Amino acid sequence: MGSTRSTAVMENLPRQANDWAGKHFRITYEKFEQGGSMFPNNRLIILGLGLLNAVLLIAAVVIGINCAKVKEGSPQASHSAATQLINELSYLRSNHSDVMEAAEEAKRALESALNKHAQLKVQIEQQKNRSDGYQRQLVALQAEKTKLQSNVSALEGTCGRCLPRWTLLNSSCYFFSYFEANTVQKNWLDSRADCISRGADLVVIDNPGEQEFVSNIVRNFMGDGHQWTKGSWIGITDTLTEGTWVWINNVTEVEQRYWMDGEPNNSGGNGEDCGIVIYSSSNPWKTWFDGQCQKHKLHWICEMPSK
């Protein structure tokens, strides 16, 4: 509305200026024709015309300035600015679409990477399980290897004169039940039956070398304590005659230097009629106890001639 009024005023301004200048010229001319006193000579006429021209020039300048302003604010300029804004908006929309597409692509790439990571994690776990299995197998094989090497060493040491897990000393082979099954224990009679089933009998200790040998091996599994419950049965008994100790080969014991001090004592008259060997750090030559043949359950030692 304001723009329309301004345009109308600008359009009427030249006409108003022209009417005013014409009217002023006619009045001046009429007075000139009548020879009035307002313009006594030609100089006044020339001055009036000059003023008129000045007014017209000012009007023309004002009109030109206003026309330029109107031209600058024309709908064509507004349309150009609007076109520029629309172009910029289209450019931004295009960039926004590109950004959104790049974001979707990045999202798909991330999901793919996560899936590959999950698959890789599963593969690593499977590989770890296989590795653990191989490690267990390796440990088992190493244990088997050690066992086989031990058997080979035993065979080499005995030169094949003793069975596996038997130990050679001089002309005899010895079996210590603890090394075959350390949780299995028997009474004296059952222990002797086991030795017999192996083609042997309970050990008969009849010389210092054998006493030292047996004592040292017993030390390996019972330690330095004096606990007779960790000892092993040997083949001596006084079951037939109390106080008369006889080996299973019917040889009567003639020296008692291997009994511990105070032994054998048949403690409390409880029928301690069978011999037990332990290890004694204080005196490895005194290592025998007497125990109850039926009641007590211990490990045992077998002996048989070597091949």
Rounded distance, CA 15 to CA 208, Å? 156
Coil, helix or strand for 35? coil
**DSSP designation for 183:** T
End-to-end CA distance of the chain: 135
pLDDT of residue 92: 73
pLDDT band for position 296 (cuts 50, 70, 90): very high
CATH 3.40.50.2000 for the 167-305 domain, yes or no? no
Beta strands in the chain (DSSP E): 167-169, 172-176, 201-202, 232-237, 246-247, 274-277, 288-291, 299-305
pLDDT at residue 91, as a whole number: 75
Residues 162-172: tens digit of each pLDDT: 998 899 999 99
Measured over the CA atoms of residue 12, residue 14, residue 16 and residue 18, the dihedral's sign is: negative
Radius of gyration of the chain (CA): 66
* Per-residue confidence (pLDDT) for residue 6, from 0 to 100: 45
Domain residue limits, the chain: 2-73, 167-305
Q: Which two tokens stand for residue 167?
A: 């130990």
List of long-range contacts for 176-180, beta carbons under 8 Å, 24+ apart: 176/217, 176/218, 176/221, 176/232, 176/299, 176/301, 177/232, 177/299, 177/300, 177/301, 177/302, 178/221, 178/232, 178/299, 179/221
- For residue 24, the surrounding DSSP H or E stretch is helix 2-34
What's the whole-number mean pLDDT along residues 193-211?
95
How much is the average pLDDT of 121-145?
85
**294, pLDDT greater than 90:** yes
Average pLDDT over residues 249-268: 86
Q: Indicate if the alpha-carbon torsion angle 163, 165, 168, 172 is positive or negative.
A: negative
Give the model's pLDDT for residue 135. 85
Return the closest-CA partner of residue 263 out of 278, 251, 252, 250. 278
pLDDT bracket for residue 97 (50, 70, 90)? confident
| Size of the chain, expressed as the number of residues it contains | 307
What mean pLDDT, rounded, does the chain reach? Answer: 77
